[in-house]
Chain A
């Protein structure tokens, strides 16, 4: 079960000091990217060399990016990494409550997000479960639209093969 507002508020209470909270945010970027990169790579069963080939980078660069002290990943490199993993790089300015929600709900699953095809299927499954519940309470005919949409899952491309990933041009 995910943590809610009490945990988020508790965390934000510790961020009243402006200097501290901005230091913390910077550290979250540094360790967050390095940690997530390694977590994702190992979750996919890839070596640094394999990830390097999929992003057009040198293995040494991947090693640097996985070092939390490095801290010099560009948005362009982030986009290449995201493409290799078939996930989205979210780069935006946000309120601190967003960061609090992220850190209090950090899990291995969130650190290693699903690729798009897996994510789509997971989302359909979740929508189907909610629709079944709604229909059982006679709220409406919720399931049929979900089933119609689920049919499109069959037409989704399979996760990229290694050959296709190598062929990705940036």
Chain B
């Protein structure tokens, strides 16, 4: 027995954890909320990975998924994609305001990162960091 899934964080070219840096930049409460949601998503079957916790993106973002908590009225999003195994990778953090992403090119940046992970997963991803190190 154990987790059903294992989330990974995207590492940039310098091998800095881009997800950890983004989350901390949003504040400790946002980091705590995402960590808590990721704990629960990891521990259950995919059938429960739907709203309000997670959703598949469409249109120009087709192929990506999001974790979608609201913290103090702000809609935070972490984009991820599923690999071939049970190891989704968190790619990019954004906010959603009035049906738009902040930053506007959030999906494009996520796709660029996804390409890096697919090409070289050992270099571009690491087990999700829970808590503050």
A interface residues, Cβ below 8 angstroms from B: 1-3, 11, 13-17, 19-21, 23-24, 26-28, 30-32, 35, 38-39, 42, 67-69, 103, 106-111
Contact = CB atoms under 8 A, between A and B. Distances in A.
A106 B1 contact: no
B37 A111 contact: no
B52 A69 contact: yes
B4 A108 contact: yes
B93 interface: no
B48 A103 contact: no
Contact of B33 (A2, A27, A103, A111): A27
21 contacts: A2-B1, A3-B2, A13-B133, A14-B131, A14-B133, A17-B28, A17-B131, A20-B28, A23-B28, A24-B32, A26-B32, A31-B36, A39-B48, A68-B37, A69-B70, A103-B39, A106-B42, A107-B1, A108-B43, A109-B1, A111-B43
Interface of B: 1-4, 28-29, 31-33, 35-37, 39-40, 42-45, 48, 52-53, 69-70, 129-133
A108 B48 CA distance: 11
Given A31-B37, A68-B53, A106-B42, A23 B48 contact: no
A104 to B, nearest CB: 9
Contact of A68 (B69, B131, B133): B69
A108 B32 contact: no
A3 B42 CA distance: 14
Contact of B3 (A17, A38, A67, A107): A107
